[in-house]
Amino acid sequence: MSSKKYELILIALAFLISAGIVLYQVAESPQMSPVTTVKAEYETVSDEYNETNAQKVNINSAGRELLMSLYGIGEDRAQAIIDYRSNNGSFRDISEIMEVEGISEKVYEQIKDDITV
C-alpha cells in the first residue's frame, strides 16, 4: 500500500473517531428543549399546587368517605357535616365547621390545616 493511501486512511479514521466522540458527548449531555423546559416548570408549579391545595378536603363537596379520612371524623360526624351543609348551604369559612354538632374546637384544631372551602 502506498504512503498516500495510508495517509488518507489515517485521516479518514481520525475523522471518524473525532465525529464519534462529538456525537457521544452530544448524546450524553442533558440538554432540554424549550418544550421540555416549559413542561418541567409547569410540573413544578403543579406539584406545589397539589401539595398545598389538592390534599385538603373540601368540606363543601366531600362525600362521607373523604370526610371520614379527617382526624376525629367518623361516620356520624361525616353525616352531620353533610346534613349541615344540606340544611344551611355551603360553608363560607372552614371555622364554620364548628357549628356542626359533634365538631368541637379541639377537633377543629386537628383538622383545620387539612380542610378547605
State pLDDT tens for residues 29-67.
Answer: 666 555 444 445 444 444 444 455 558 999 999 999 999
Q: What is the pLDDT of residue 50?
A: 47
Is residue 43 included in any domain, yes or no? no
C-alpha cell at 21: 466522540
Spatial CB neighbours of 34, under 8 Å, sequence gap ≥ 6: none
pLDDT exceeds 80 at position 114: yes
Would residue 70 count as lying in a domain?
yes
pLDDT at 54: 57
- Least Cα distance to 117 among 61, 64, 74, 79 occurs for 61
Query: Per mean pLDDT, which range of 35-39, 60-64, 91-95, 107-111 is the poorest?
Result: 35-39
Name the pLDDT band for 28 (thresholds 50, 70, 90). low
Residue 4, pLDDT score: 82
pLDDT, residue 12, reads 80
For residue 50, being part of any structural domain is answered with no
DSSP, residue by residue, 49-94:
HIIIIITSEETTT--HHHHHTSTT--HHHHHHHHHHHHHH-S-SSG
Q: For residue 98, give its domain range.
A: 59-116
- Phi-psi label, residue 102: left if phi above 0, alpha if psi -120 to 50, beta otherwise: left
Pick 10 or 94 by higher pLDDT.
94
What is the pLDDT averaged over residues 59-88?
Answer: 95
Is residue 110 included in any domain, yes or no? yes
The answer to the question of residue 35 being in a domain is no
Q: What element of type H or E holds 116?
A: strand 115-116
Provide mean pLDDT across the span 89-96: 96
Give the Cα separation of 98 and 43 in Å (integer). Answer: 36
Domain count of the fold of the chain: 2
The answer on 111 and 69 residing in a single domain is yes
**70 and 76 Cβ atoms separated by less than 8 Å:** no
Asked, for residue 51, whether it belongs to a domain, the answer is no
Mean pLDDT over the full length of the chain: 81
CATH number at residue 80: 1.10.150.310
Assigned domain for 11 exists: yes
Asked if 71 contacts 114 with a C-beta cutoff of 8 angstroms, the reply is yes
For residue 8, what is its C-alpha cell?
488518507
